[in-house]
């Protein structure tokens, strides 16, 4: 069980989130999760399984959904936006040269346990989907996204093995990647919420293997993106509620901004901005002995990668829409919000 799985349990305890905003006074009744369907300006779409990370397919018709913690039953889904239907994404395997390392020869099939995702195009033209995996091996699983009639499928091409669990990944056009390692420098007994660095950011290439980015020791480094030109990496500090801009050429951090929530995964908008989403607090009087999860508020923000201006896009204000928020991604005029627990997505107006 990795830290995020433990926190999936712990975040139901209001004591853990005392530093965050509390949306109701002590003694107020703990609200229930809202039903599926339209709820004011938000639509709750049910039928998924811990949709921790999301990627929009090249045709804009589907979301690729990482079912967090799944390692034996359809770990990756396709969500058809028009019909609101979730289906198992077909997985096959055929090793391809220049994908991963030679030592990684066997696909995990449906045993892969997905965490972060990254979809991008290689310089050679293929659409690559990189998947952080925690089952049977700690690895970066590499798939090629291929058309399947009017839909899509994944073909496993290789992987990279690691001795430090990754959290999120940003695939690079040359086949390499940048990935967060949230517990790589954590010390025994360390309180992750105290603000001290617990992990760092690694970069892998076929020529140089894995190296750690100097000066990337952050408080639970979580989400990561890389600019189209490969110059900058953008990284969230989950427990420290901040966002870092890192110069991959100069190998140093060049900017940092604060958030009012715990930013998790990052995605690009169609306009070249960055979306971040995450937990914002606990609603109501949620006792530590509760067998049901506390209702967690969440926030979605847009960041200008040039000016580093942060603009709040959505604040749930304690509405019981979804728990464990980990990602927000744009699809047309809407934003879809996923989480590392539960059975729902939330659709918001852009």
Task: Give residue for tokens 């890389």.
Answer: 226
DSSP state string for 260-316: SSEEEEEEE-TTS-EEEEEEEEEES---TT-SSPPEEEEEEEEE-TTT--EEEEEE-
- What's the pLDDT at 192? 86
pLDDT above 50: residue 10: no
Backbone φ and ψ for 147, nearest 5 degrees, come out as -65, 145
Q: How many Å apart are CA 328 and CA 155, to the nearest integer?
A: 26
191: domain range? 3-349
pLDDT above 50: residue 6: no
pLDDT above 60: residue 14: no
State mean pLDDT over 333-344: 96
- What's the pLDDT at 69? 86
Q: Which CATH number fits the domain that encloses residue 127?
A: 2.120.10.30
pLDDT above 50: residue 75: yes
pLDDT above 80: residue 213: yes
Res. 27 pLDDT band, cuts 50 70 90: very low
Which tens digits make up the pLDDT trace of 15-24? Answer: 334 334 434 4
Burial degree of 165 (CB within 10 A; 0-12, 13-18, 19+): buried
| Total domain count, the chain | 1
pLDDT above 70: residue 132: yes
pLDDT above 90: residue 252: yes
State mean pLDDT over 76-85: 98
Backbone φ and ψ for 322, nearest 5 degrees, come out as -165, 150
Residue-averaged pLDDT of the chain = 90
């Amino acid at each position: 069980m990795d830290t995020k799985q433990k926190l999936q349990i712990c975040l139901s305890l209001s004591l853990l989130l005392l530093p965050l905003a509390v949306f109701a006074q002590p003694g107020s009744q703990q609200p229930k999760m809202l039903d599926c369907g339209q709820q004011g300006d938000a639509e709750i779409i049910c039928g998924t399984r811990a949709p921790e990370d999301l990627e929009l397919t090249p045709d804009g018709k589907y979301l690729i959904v990482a079912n967090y913690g799944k390692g034996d039953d359809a770990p990756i889904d396709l969500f058809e936006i028009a019909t609101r239907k979730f289906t198992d994404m077909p997985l096959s395997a055929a090793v391809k040269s220049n994908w991963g390392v030679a030592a990684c020869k066997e696909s995990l099939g449906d045993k892969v346990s997905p965490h972060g995702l990254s979809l991008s195009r290689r310089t050679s033209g293929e659409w690559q989907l990189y998947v952080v995996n925690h089952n049977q091996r700690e690895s970066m699983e590499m798939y090629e996204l291929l058309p399947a009639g009017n839909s899509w499928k994944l073909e496993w091409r290789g992987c990279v093995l690691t001795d430090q669990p990754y959290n999120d990944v940003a695939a690079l056009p040359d086949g390499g990647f940048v990935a967060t390692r949230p517990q790589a420098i954590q010390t025994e007994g360390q309180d992750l919420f105290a603000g001290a660095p617990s992990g760092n950011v690694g970069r892998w290439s076929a020529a140089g293997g894995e190296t750690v980015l100097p000066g990337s020791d952050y408080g639970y480094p979580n989400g990561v993106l890389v600019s189209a030109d490969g110059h900058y990496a953008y990284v969230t500090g989950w427990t420290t509620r901040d966002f870092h801009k890192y110069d991959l050429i100069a190998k140093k951090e060049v900017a940092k901004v604060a958030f009012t929530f715990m930013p998790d995964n990052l995605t690009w908008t169609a306009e070249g901005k960055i979306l971040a989403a995450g937990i914002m607090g606990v609603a109501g009087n949620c006792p530590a002995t509760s067998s049901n999860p506390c209702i967690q508020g969440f926030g979605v923000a847009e960041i200008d990668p040039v000016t580093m201006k942060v603009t709040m896009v959505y604040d749930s204000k304690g509405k019981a829409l979804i728990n464990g928020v980990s990602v927000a991604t744009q699809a047309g005029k809407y934003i879809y919000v996923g989480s590392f627990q539960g059975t729902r997505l939330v659709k918001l107006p852009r």
